[in-house]
Every structure is written in C-alpha cells, then in structure tokens.
Structure 1
C-alpha cells in the first residue's frame, strides 16, 4: 500500500515533515532522546545515548514492513521497538536495556506526533511570514488603488485593493499567538496507566522519586525541543486539539484569500491574476485556459480541513479510562493530514502572494461601471441635511429619489443633484454647486479611514517582524 499524494495535488509540499518517513524519524528520535534523558539524569552511561542516536536513522528501517506489523499491536511503536532494539544491539548491546524503560506506547506516539507538529511549524511559519511580507507590500503599494467593495456579491462602496490586502494580512496576524504554540508543543509522559509508576521505579525507591521522575521527563522534553506539560494528558486531549485548531485556522485564513483571488481573477472581472509557472494552470482539453491553480488548491485545503478538526474533537470527546480504545488511534492520521495540508497551503500562499498581478485599471473600470449609485451613502450624508422638505418628502427622501433615478448615470445624477440643491449651503458656508457635487461623485474621495486602517495593520506587521526570532526553535531532535 503506497500513498504518495496522488489524490492530493500539491500536498507533497508538506510531505517532508509529515510523511511516514518523517513520522518514523520522530518516533526514533523520541526513543533515542529518552535514552539521552536517562544519561542527563545519571541513570545511563553517555555511550548509551550516542549509540541510541546512531541507531535512530529512519533510512535504516523498512517503514512499509513496520506499517504491516503495526496491525498486531494496534500501533507502530511496538514493532519499531523490536527493530530499534535489534539495531541498537548491533552497535552497543548494553544500551538496549535503557530503551523505552518507564515509557508506554502512548507516551512515544503522542510525543512523536507533537514532534511532527513542531517540525511542521518551521516551514509553515516561514512561508506564512513570506506571505505576510508580500501582503504588506501589496497593502502599502495599492493603498490608493480604488476598487469596489462587495457585500452579498454586490458593489457596496468604494474601497481600495490596499485595504483588501491589509485585511488578508490581518487575518494571518490573528494567528500569530496560535502559531507560537506550534513551536513548543508538549511532550506526553505518564507510563503504562498515567501514574508515572514505571519512571519512579527507575529511581529505586528514593524518597524524592516522584520529583526525579518528573525531572527525567523534563530532560526528555528539552532534548526534543518540547515543553513539559503540568499534567499527564493521556486522555486529556487539549494539546492535540490546540495543534489541530491552529492548522485548521491557517487553512481557513488562506482559503479566505484564495476565494477573493478566484473571484477577482474571473475574466469578466480581471482585477487579479495568479503568477504563471511552467505547466501550471493548464487544461487537458482547453489549451487557451490559464487556471488559477494555486487558489484552487488553497480552497481545496480550506474545505478539507474542518472535517479533520472535527474528527479530532470527536476523538477527544470519546476519550475514556487511562488510554482510549480507538478514539486515540483515530487521531494519528487526522492530525498528520492537517499538518501536511497546512504546510502545503502556506507554501502555496507564499508563492501566490509574491507573484500576484494587480490590474488597477480594471479595478477602477469595474467600480465606475456600476455607476455613481455606490456613493449614495456619501451623497445623502452631505446633501440631505441642507435640503428642506418639499412636497411631503424629507431632504433625505428627495436625495434618495434622485440617486435611485440616476444610479447608473453619472452625468444625469450630477445634473439632477445640482438642480435639486440649487442655492443650498453647507454648514461651513460652502455653496452646493457643480464643483462640490463633482467631488461627491469621486470614489477616491469616499474611502473612509482607508489609510489609517492600512497603517495599523502595517505597524503590527513591522512589530511582528522585529519580534520574530532569527534562530530556529531549540531541540531539533535526538
């Protein structure tokens, strides 16, 4: 049985840190780090840690064979331990006795999956930072590029593409705290039944055995670049849910960007265009087409992720006793697939945003094609208060009647409004003449707090860029 991502186009971008080989390496690193932690705690000789690390190379193991044999015990740790002990015995027979003692399969499996999460976070965060930098550039460059804001699919008010890009960026910024959690997820420790009995036994009845057992777990977590949680979480699955929800939120945030690109790149709108690449966007039957494939794959991912997050919530809700009977097992593939999709999506988003082409002429033309009706709010706010009631209609009603009548006719609306407001004066003494009405009909003059809103997002981006660590997270493995 082989899964190379044939039905998940683009997901290969997330495979190096999430595929079966990556999971196998994480399992081996977890076992080797446990031996090293025993060295740190004075329970094993230094030579054992060196041998344990040397035996922990995924390339030396048959991952397909391990997958077949995992059926016997219901998890891959059991057959892997047999092979790992055999391999280690060839290097240092004495070191074998330090392997896995005090642990249980769930400690290793959960910790390895958290290690996969941490390793997936590295390219994920890097590519999201690249996408954020590209969006910041677009927001600043296009703060004056007027386009139609659309609500419920219809033109609503004038806006700018710069503000749209800033809004996309803000969506990624809202994930920053969650993404930080992916860099240091917790190790899982507890032993056979979550009591740490096996770890305590390593300290031969010492009065402080409990504290020393926890310290041993701390050494282990530190070796892996993970946190030591304050409790055993065998059946308290919040660490899994937290990682899954972050991956899912990343997929949703990037899907939101993809939806806008897909809409605005339709030929009849033509406001945006994806970056071109050899062989990308081709059609098997229509060679003239250039499909927005990056956005299509981002949307695919955004639609796929929620079901995986839901699966993990169901599994957490069905945890029972001191090790779940099936719900735990159902987590593994769902969490791994979420990580793979999120990493691939971040890579797609970085490429999309860096190469996005913005057609400001089409944006302006599409806005103007809808007519001056999109400025109804502004026209009414300025003119209605200075027009007296007439023929049973308020000043607002009189303005609205003109706007409705000439919603798509700029020249007609200009003439009608000048005639309607003849002799009127604004509160500051400005007469309502053709020049003033012309300004009211200019979309660029009604952009709200466009610059302020963009600047706030960009300032947040600058702070985050300055605060971002320049070195990778500690503990790359055993």
Structure 2
C-alpha cells in the first residue's frame, strides 16, 4: 500500500489494509467453525476439515472485497455480507458443505468477528513496531555510551542553561523508547466472544445438541469452545468486552507512547541539525524541488508529523470508549475501526522512519564542545551562585551525576523486556 497523502506509508506494507482485514475476518470464521467441530458441539457431518474449506474461500472473498465494502453500509459492518458469501460458496461446494454452511458463524455476532479480526491485524502491526523499538534501543544505547563524555550545552526554553553531555541527551531519548517498549510489551490481545448480547447465550443453547439439558454440561462445553477458539488464533480468552473498550484504548495509548518518544527525538534532531547550530548531521537527507543546496532532515520531519497526529487519533478511541452504551454502541464502536487502523499504520511507518533516522545520525562532538566552551561563563553561572551559597569555590566540571544517569539508563536498556 502507498499514499500520496502520507509519504512513507509503503513502510507499513499491507498491515491493517483491506486485504489483511478480509483475511483476518475469514480466519476468525474458520477458527470458530473449527472450534465448534473439534469440541464436539457441532455434528460430525460439518466435517473435520470445515475450517480449511472456509480458509480456501479467502481468494473468493478478496475478489468480492469491493462488493462487501459497499454492502457493509446497509448493515453497518462487513460481516453480514461476508457470512452470506461464505455460506453461499460452501453450499455450492462438495457434498457435506451445506451442513458446514448452516453451522458457520452460529453462536457469534458481527461484533465478535469484527473485533477479533481487528485484534489479529493490530497484533501484526504491534509486532512490526516492537521490532523497530528493539533496534532503536540498541542504537540509542550505543549513542549514550559512546558520547557519555561529549560535552554540550543544555538548553531550556530555547536558551543555554548548564553544561551536559550528548550521552545524557541520548539517554533521555532512550528512556522514552524504553517506556514505549514497556507499554507495548504490556498489551493484551484478547478474543472477542460474547454472542448477540454479551452473555454467550447462543453458544450455550447450541451446546444442548451435544451436552443435553444439563446446564452445567452445556456451560462446560461452551467454555471449552471459547478456549479452543482463542487458542487457535493465538489470542487470550477473556470475558466479552463489547462495550468495555480497554483493549482498543490500550493499543492507542501504546502507539502514542511510541510516537511521543520518537517525536521528542525528531524535535531535537530538527533543532540540532539547523545550519546555525550544526551539532548533529544526517547521512541521509531530502532535497528540494527548486533549491539545489538544500539537505532537508526529511525523516525527522515525517516522524514529527506522526507525533503530532497520533494523539488526536488515540483521543478519538478514548472518546468512543466513553460513548459506549447498552450492549453494542450505536456509532462509537464503528468510529474505532478506521481510527485504529490509521493510528497503527502510521505508528509502524514512524517506527521505521525513526530507526532510519537514528542510523543516519552523525554526532558532531567537536562542534558541541566548542560551543559549550565558548559559552562556559554563562553555562556555569548557576554553579558559581550555588558554590557561593555553600561557601566554597566552584570545583570541577558542572556535570553532576551525568555519568551515573547514563549508566542507570543503560542498565535498564540491557535488562530483558518485562
């Protein structure tokens, strides 16, 4: 996938695109049918390979993607048309598939399929982000260690403040990325399974075919199906969350934790690569359509772009979560889908761009040191004032616990991800 409106979108490939979403929707229906059959809830005549038969229809579904999208307007989601298409194709197939068509989707509701498919797609996107974050941790740890003694001027409110080192700055960048890594690692990927009203009553009713009239036996069989379904998809079996949208807002918050961290890095790079500052440079830069001398820090610009946009998308997810009502929301649920897809795709893109930015970064330690030494009188003004309060002459470089702080962050970076 590409987008002229979002340069760099190709870096996300097909993640959370229509094709990936269609494949996930089909996989959810297939995994559910497999769970019904393998648990013994559905009759043997459905066929042990019924799930595979559904998966074999994926190309048919993809060929009808535009029709499914247009038809989704009438029911508000694409699952209604998808189920009709799958049942039609199964019934037209080999003998026995008519029974499979009858049992397809039974016990589910559209939201179960939509939400579970979105979780599957989101997990793939998160995996891509995590891979970049892990690479960034390595790159930033190397920068912090290498430049722990590279003197530079700290700036507050745009002005020179006190001495620091580029190692401390890189360690600060690293803290943000490590915080994002922790948020990503803490994400849960739950299956959505509640049936029509969030009680799984349809599934328990279907269980009567195999479990008879004993309520406890029906409940055990229903729980077994739920676990098989979740296991088949590699997701967590949890209580229904039809109108409790914590899993969705958690994804948004983790994404923004990452884009916040990258935005801070990009902002510093944009300042420090200015020609009049020149303390950082980039091995890879962008050009201009009319000014041949330009070497624009394009990657930093694009990372900053995402950092500015992402919080608004996450805010929409929180607004939708707060507007949930009854047992299925009338609009708030629907508002999440494209919002989450955009947020995660853009986070994947920004993650790849942030990694490339760090790989291209050139630290001009000599320029940093020269500027800091030239401004030494101003940078050590606080030191002289505090030494006077303490009743002694200023002693040594005014770097406080800079070395210790770098070491502290590096120790955290080298610990396994929780």
Give the TM-score taking structure 2 as reference length. Answer: 0.92
Superposition pairs of residues 79-90 of structure 1, within 5 angstroms = 79-90=81-92
Q: For residues 398-425 of structure 1, give each alpha carbon's deviation from its aligned partner in whole angstroms, at most 9, with x where no partner exists.
A: xxxxxxxxxxxxxxxxxxxxxxxxxxxx
Superposition pairs of residues 68-467 of structure 1, within 5 angstroms = 68-92=70-94, 93=97, 94-182=99-187, 184-204=188-208, 205-208=213-216, 209-229=218-238, 231-276=239-284, 281-383=286-388, 385-386=390-391, 440=396, 445-464=397-416, 467=417
Whether the 8 Å contact between 1:172 and 1:253 is mirrored in structure 2 is: yes
Q: Which residue of 2 aligns with 1:63?
A: 65
Distance 1:269 1:58 in 2: 58
Gaps of 5+ in 2: none
Aligned-pair CA distance for 1:148: 0.8
Distance 1:290 1:101 in 2: 59
Aligned-pair CA distance for 1:254: 0.9
CA separation of 1:446 and 1:99: change in aligned 2, threshold 3 A:
same
Distance 2:388 2:327 in 1: 71
Aligned-pair CA distance for 1:64: 2.3
SS in 2 for 1:96: helix
Greater mean alpha carbon deviation, residues 14-23 or residues 303-312: 14-23
How many correspondences in the alignment? Answer: 406
Aligned-pair CA distance for 1:159: 0.6
Aligned-pair CA distance for 1:291: 0.8
Distance 1:283 1:88 in 2: 56
Distance 1:67 1:385 in 2: 73
Distance 1:80 1:214 in 2: 26
Deviating runs (4+, > 4 A) in structure 1? 57-60, 383-386
Distance 2:30 2:51 in 1: 7
SS in 2 for 1:17: coil
CA RMSD of aligned residues (A): 2.0
Aligned-pair CA distance for 1:378: 2.0
Distance 1:113 1:60 in 2: 17
Give the TM-score taking structure 1 as reference length. Answer: 0.81
Q: Which residue of 2 aligns with 1:6?
A: 4
CA separation of 1:385 and 1:107: change in aligned 2, threshold 3 A:
closer
- Between structure 1 and structure 2, the one with the greater Rg is 1
Distance 1:383 1:194 in 2: 69
Aligned-pair CA distance for 1:12: 2.4
Distance 1:54 1:211 in 2: 31
CA separation of 1:59 and 1:451: change in aligned 2, threshold 3 A:
farther
CA separation of 1:458 and 1:297: change in aligned 2, threshold 3 A:
same
CA separation of 1:17 and 1:362: change in aligned 2, threshold 3 A:
same
Distance 1:177 1:269 in 2: 34
Whether the 8 Å contact between 2:259 and 2:350 is mirrored in structure 1 is: yes
SS in 2 for 1:202: helix
CA separation of 1:253 and 1:91: change in aligned 2, threshold 3 A:
farther
Greater mean alpha carbon deviation, residues 247-256 or residues 105-114: 247-256
CA separation of 1:13 and 1:87: change in aligned 2, threshold 3 A:
farther
Q: For residues 328-351 of structure 1, give each alpha carbon's deviation from its aligned partner in whole angstroms, at most 9, with x where no partner exists.
A: 111111111111011111111111
Q: Which residue of 2 aligns with 1:396?
A: none
Whether the 8 Å contact between 1:56 and 1:84 is mirrored in structure 2 is: no
Distance 2:60 2:148 in 1: 50
Distance 1:61 1:84 in 2: 13
Distance 2:120 2:298 in 1: 31
Q: For residues 27-74 of structure 1, give each alpha carbon's deviation from its aligned partner in whole angstroms, at most 9, with x where no partner exists.
A: 111111111222331234422122223223587433222211211211
CA separation of 1:310 and 1:384: change in aligned 2, threshold 3 A:
closer
Picking from 48, 53, 56, the partner of 1:54 is 56
Q: For residues 152-185 of structure 1, give each alpha carbon's deviation from its aligned partner in whole angstroms, at most 9, with x where no partner exists.
A: 1111111111111111111111123321233x41
